[in-house]
C-alpha cells in the first residue's frame, strides 16, 4: 500500500526513544521531512546522525512557555504525532500532586498546545492535515497503580474526539492509537518478569505484546490519505485486549 508521505512535513513528539523514535525513522524513510521533538538532547543528536535532515527540537513539553518558544515558529506542518508521555505509577492512596501535575501537563496539556500550534498553521494555509494521538489500552481498562496514567489517557481519547469534531470542517483528521504493552526497550525492561507479563498476556487473545512496528505501521496509515475517511477514532493495537 503506497502511503504517499514523501514531501509532507511531520512533527513527532517524544521522538528520542521508543515509539516516537521509530516513527521518525519510518517517516524519514518514507520521504517525509520530520521535526523531532524530545527533552533529551543526546537522543536527538544520535537520531540526526541516523536520519540526516531531521530537524531536532529539544524542549520539555511540560513547560508551556518553553514549548511556545520552541515550536511557535516551527513553520508549516502537515502531519502531527503526539507521542510524548510519562507514566508515573503509584497506588491510588499514595498519588501525589506532583505526579498529577506532571502527568496531565505532558500527557494531555502538551497535546492541546502542540496541536493548537499545528492546526492553526494548517487552517491559515487552507491545508488538510492529520493528527495522531498515541493513547493506550489503559484509557479504557483499569490497571493497578495506574490511576493517574489511566486518567490522562482516558482524557486523551475524549480530547481526540472533540478535536476531530471541531477540526473536521477544516479537513484536519484526528485519531488516537491505543496500544497494549509495546516491546520498546522500556517495555521490555518493565515487563521482563515472567509472572508480571503472564497476568497481562493472559488477557490478550493473541497471547503476545505489540512490537514497535505494529504501532508505527498503524500511525503511518492514520497519517496517510489511505485513512482519509477515518477521524475521531480510537484504534486498538492490542492483540484483542479491549475485546475481553
Helices 110-125 and 64-71: crossing angle in degrees, nearest 10, is 30
* Closest to 44 (Cα-Cα) out of 60, 55, 30, 34: 55
pLDDT for the residue numbered 106 = 98
Q: What is the pLDDT of residues 17-36, one digit of tens each?
A: 999 999 999 999 999 999 99
Q: How far is CA 224 from the centre of its chain?
A: 16
Task: Tell me: pLDDT of 8 over 90.
Answer: yes
Q: In this model, does residue 191 exceed pLDDT 90?
A: no
Helices (H) then strands (E): counts for the chain? 9, 7
Contact between residue 60 and residue 114 where contact means Cβ atoms under 8 Å apart: no
Q: Of 17, 97, 153, 196, which is the active-site residue?
A: 153
Q: Is 196 known to be catalytic?
A: no
Where residue 189 falls among pLDDT bands split at 50, 70, 90? confident
Residue ranges covered by each domain of the chain: 9-238
**pLDDT recorded at residue 192:** 85
Cell 529539544 locates to 58
Q: What is the pLDDT of residue 1?
A: 80
Active-site annotation holds for 161 = no
Q: Is the pLDDT of residue 186 over 90?
A: no
Give the total residue count for the chain.
244
Q: Rounded to the nearest 10 degrees, how much is the dihedral formed by the CA atoms of 111, 209, 239, 198? A: -120
Average per-residue pLDDT in the chain?
Answer: 97
Is the pLDDT confidence value at 105 over 90?
yes
Q: Residue 190 pLDDT more than 90?
A: no
Class of domain 9-238: alpha beta
Q: How much of the chain exceeds pLDDT 90, in percent? A: 95
pTM beyond 0.75, yes or no: yes
For 125-144, the pLDDT digits (tens) are: 999 999 999 999 999 999 99
Task: From the candidates 17, 149, 198, 208, give the one annotated as an active-site residue.
Answer: 149
Q: Please compute the mean of the pLDDT values over residues 1-29 and round it to a whole number.
A: 96
Amino acid at each position: 500500500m503506497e502511503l504517499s508521505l514523501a514531501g509532507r512535513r511531520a512533527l513527532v513528539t517524544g521522538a528520542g526513544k521508543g515509539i516516537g523514535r521509530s516513527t521518525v525513522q519510518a517517516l524519514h524513510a518514507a520521504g517525509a521531512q520530520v521535526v523531532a521533538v524530545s527533552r533529551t538532547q543526546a537522543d536527538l543528536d544520535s537520531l540526526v546522525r541516523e536520519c540526516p535532515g531531521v530537524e531536532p527540537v529539544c524542549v520539555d513539553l511540560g513547560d508551556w512557555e518553553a514549548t511556545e518558544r520552541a515550536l511557535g515558529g516551527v513553520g508549516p506542518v502537515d502531519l502531527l504525532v503526539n507521542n510524548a508521555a510519562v507514566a508515573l505509577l503509584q497506588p491510588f492512596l499514595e498519588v501525589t500532586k506532583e505526579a498529577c501535575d506532571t502527568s496531565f501537563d505532558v500527557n494531555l496539556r502538551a497535546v492541546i498546545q502542540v496541536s493548537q500550534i499545528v492546526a492553526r498553521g494548517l487552517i491559515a494555509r487552507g491545508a488538510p492535515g492529520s493528527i495522531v494521538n498515541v493513547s493506550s489500552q489503559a484509557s479504557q481498562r483499569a490497571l493497578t497503580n495506574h490511576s493517574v496514567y489511566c486518567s490522562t489517557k482516558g482524557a486523551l481519547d475524549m480530547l481526540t474526539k472533540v478535536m476531530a469534531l471541531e477540526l473536521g470542517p477544516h479537513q484536519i483528521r484526528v485519531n488516537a492509537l491505543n496500544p497494549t504493552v509495546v516491546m520498546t526497550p522500556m517495555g521490555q525492561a518493565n515487563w521482563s518478569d515472567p509472572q508480571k507479563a503472564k497476568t497481562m498476556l493472559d488477557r490478550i487473545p493473541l497471547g503476545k505484546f505489540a512490537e514497535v512496528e505494529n504501532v508505527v505501521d498503524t500511525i503511518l496509515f492514520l497519517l496517510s490519505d489511505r485513512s482519509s475517511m477515518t477521524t475521531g477514532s480510537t484504534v486498538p493495537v492490542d492483540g484483542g485486549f479491549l475485546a475481553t
